Structure formats: C-alpha cells, structure tokens
Amino acid sequence: MRTKVFGKTASSHETIQLYEIENKHGMVLSVINYGARIIGLKVPSRHGELIDVVCGFKSLELYEKDDGYFGAIVGRCACRVSPPSVMIDGNRYNLTENSGDVHFHGGFNGFDKAVWDVSAIEGETGVYGVRLHHISPAGTEGYPGELVTIVEYRLTDQDEVVVKIKATCGEATIVNIPQHSYFNLGGPKEPTIYDHVVSITADSYLAMGKNLVPTGEIVSVKDTVFDLRKPQILGEAIHSTPDDGYDNYWCLTPSPLHVPTLAVNLYHPKTGVNMEVLTTQPGVLMYTGNYLNKSVIGKYGEVLDRHSAMCLETLGYLNAINEPTFPCVIIRPGEPYHHTTIWRFSIK
C-alpha cells in the first residue's frame, strides 16, 4: 500500500492521507480518510490500458466544497428523511433540515465530512485493504445515541472491490449507509454514460412523490421505464423517463443467508469494462447524475456535466423510518448494522 499526504482540512488543519492499493493485475484503488472517500479506481480495459472508472477531484479543497458526495460514505441515514421529526421506540427526535424541509444524506455535517481513523488490512501477500473508523457522538445532526461505524475497502486479486460497512450504537437509532461513488466505465475521456448498458435484477421499485420522497407504494417494474431486468442502453432508457434521468430505488429479492447477490450489471462496449454489483442490501438506488453541471471539473480536467457519471448506491429502503410497511432501519444495542457490497470487474 502506498500512502501520502493529500492535504489539510481548512477548518481544523487535520492532515488527510491518500491510500493506494494495487492488486496483481495492476488494478488500483485510491482512498482518502476525509469522508472515507474512494477517489479513484483504475481497472484494466479491453485495450490493455488502465482506466479510472470513479470520478473525483484532484485536491482536498475541492472535496471540502463538494456538495455531490463524490466517493463518500453517506450517513448516518442516507437520502431524504421526511418529515425529519422521527419516532424511535416512542421517543421523538428532530433531525436537522439541510435540504429545504427534509433531512438529507445525514445532515450538514454527515459522514462525508468526517475525518476517519485508518488502519491497514493485511493478508498473506501484504496489505490489500483499509479499515476506516468513525465515532458519531449522541445528538449529532439530531440523531440519538453514539454510533460507531467501521468501513472496510478490500481489493482482491479477482478484481473485486469489497465494501463492508458495520455500525453499532449506544441506544436505538436509525442507520442507512451507502457508498456514493460516481462511475463512468469509459473513463475520463467519455463525456456521458449514454453508451453504457445496464440491467437491474429487480421486479419492483419505490414510487416517488414530492421532493423525491417515496410515497410508500411498492410498484411492479413491468411495462414501465423502471423495468431493467433485461440489458438496456442507458441513454435510451434515460431519455424515456419523465424527468430525463433516474434517481430511483429498486427493491431486490432478499439475500439468502446474508450472502451478496447480483443486483446490477453495468457494461461499457467501447472499453469492454464490465461491472457487477452484488450486495446483501435490500435495494439499490441508481442516480444518473441529473444534477451535475458544467461547473463540476474532475481530477483529469474533464467536465462532469449532466449524465456524465452515475451512482449505484446499495442501501435500505428510503425514508423507512416514516413508512411502517418498509423494512426497518432502526438498530439497537447488541443488534449491529452490517452489510457487504461487491463491485466485480471483468473485460468482455
């Protein structure tokens, strides 16, 4: 593992480190401990070159200004909580309202802005991963109880990135933590994700209402623009949606014995890069970069405009604390939150 200083935070002047892990095929995973962010992922292409398929920025200053959660761990509770005044075991808690009148992606100072402690994960052949640790004090952004979160990123010689997220609490609280990397399997030279081919192994999705908050209805994907069970060219699918883009949650079949199962397949015909997403989570949110704009400049100088990259966030049902029919996102002492997601890369 290679380590170097990435910068110092503007407010607290804490040193942020960059960690680079390489496997035997030359695949390189780059992580910083500001927001537990993945800032790069170089994978082999059909043409024999390494392509960076994760979008990001070239300086810590840009990550500190980032409002798109590039590469970050998002928490405590991702996406929109509406109303933000929630009941947990008979007690009411008022989460911060940081996006209009909703609580979004953990509040003003969520996990994406935290400086995480880091340790190496070692195997027989050396370091192959990093373990990041963060303590969120009781009352942070309105959440009850102290929450201890551990994130592991492992790079295997099977060209997999294994993301393990575990959290334990001091008292009952809500937890829904995804990894929020933006992908373009064409690399920084590919201006859009339109040529990607996507499939999602889900028979249903969450209907969305005002402000992208679920209505509580779980709807069949059949005969809708959300039916991606067969591979679809992403550009054609995007332009067939009412809002010219996806920011939607698909409900997956529960994972047997908590074993990661296939949720998404993403393929780029030009580079030959294929990405499978396997997870123990009950669903996946696909966001096609609808709110990106020309002011967002990536680490290679590329313009990260609308639909230039996409997120595949594996997580629990959205706004579940306010929808009693959704799978519960409350954890309690002695009942840890733990999930695994695998990004498996290959060449077609």
Return binding residues.
180-182, 247
- Amino acid identity, position 254: P
User: What whole-number distance in Å separates Cα of residue 324 and Cα of residue 295?
Assistant: 40
Q: Which long-range contacts (CB under 8 A, 24 or more apart) does 210-218 make?
A: 211/80, 211/82, 211/100, 211/102, 212/79, 212/80, 212/247, 213/80, 213/82, 213/102, 213/318, 213/319, 214/249, 214/317, 214/318, 214/319, 214/323, 214/326, 216/323, 216/325, 216/326, 218/251
User: What whole-number distance in Å separates Cα of residue 106 and Cα of residue 111?
Assistant: 7
Annotated binding site for beta-D-galactose: 180-182, 247
**What secondary structure, in 3-state letters, does 23-57 show?**
CCCCCEEEEECECCEEEEEEEECCCCCEEECECCC
Task: Give me the active site residues, please.
Answer: 180, 313
Residue (of 281, 235, 264, 305) closest to 68 by Cα position: 305
User: What whole-number distance in Å separates Cα of residue 140 and Cα of residue 345?
Assistant: 37
Which residues are bridge partners to 168 per DSSP?
148
